[in-house]
Amino acid sequence: MNRPHYKDPLAAAWMAKYFGMKYICSNTNAPVEYSGAALDCSEDMRNDPSIKLVIHPESLHLLEPQNDDLVKVRKREEDGTERRLFPFPEFLTYNPHFAGDVICIVQRNRIAFIWPESES
């Protein structure tokens, strides 16, 4: 099971503030509240680096590319694999074979989009 998460409370707070991302704390399985300045488990995360903020199932849709997102895609070249940034979904018009090769969202609504880590 793929569990996207953040280990950095600042990155998680950024995503909560600008995109409404919701989390579950990995050590308590409790929802995490965002107060407008920090997450309520930030102190715990500083004291215990094994704690992760797992993205709440209600927020997983935020990881899907939306119109006008800037996305990083994998492009296969003869001499190897190259990564490029493209606006979504315009690049699909010219490069339909890229559809499954979106690596991550880099920017949404001209605001940095911090991509989460994942584990199996």
The secondary structure of 37-48 as a DSSP string is: SSBTTHHHHHH-
Residue-wise pLDDT tens digits, 80-91 = 656 676 667 666
Residue 65 falls inside a structural domain: no
User: In terms of domains, do 53 and 14 share one?
Assistant: yes
* pLDDT at residue 57 tops 90: yes
Residue-wise pLDDT tens digits, 6-24 = 998 889 989 999 999 999 9
Residue 118 falls inside a structural domain: no
Average pLDDT of the chain to the nearest whole number: 80
Q: Is 61 left (phi over 0), alpha (psi -120 to 50) or beta?
A: alpha
Q: Which of 41, 60, 79 finishes a domain? A: 60
Question: Percentage of residues in the chain with pLDDT exceeding 70?
Answer: 70
- Residue 34's pLDDT band (cuts 50, 70, 90): confident
- Domain region containing 48: 5-60
Of residues 38 and 18, more confidence is placed in: 18
Residue 117 falls inside a structural domain: no
Of residues 115 and 104, more confidence is placed in: 115
Residue 50 falls inside a structural domain: yes
Residue with tokens 């929802």: 31
Q: Which of 40, 60, 80 finishes a domain? A: 60
User: What's this model's pTM, rounded to 2 decimal places?
Assistant: 0.79
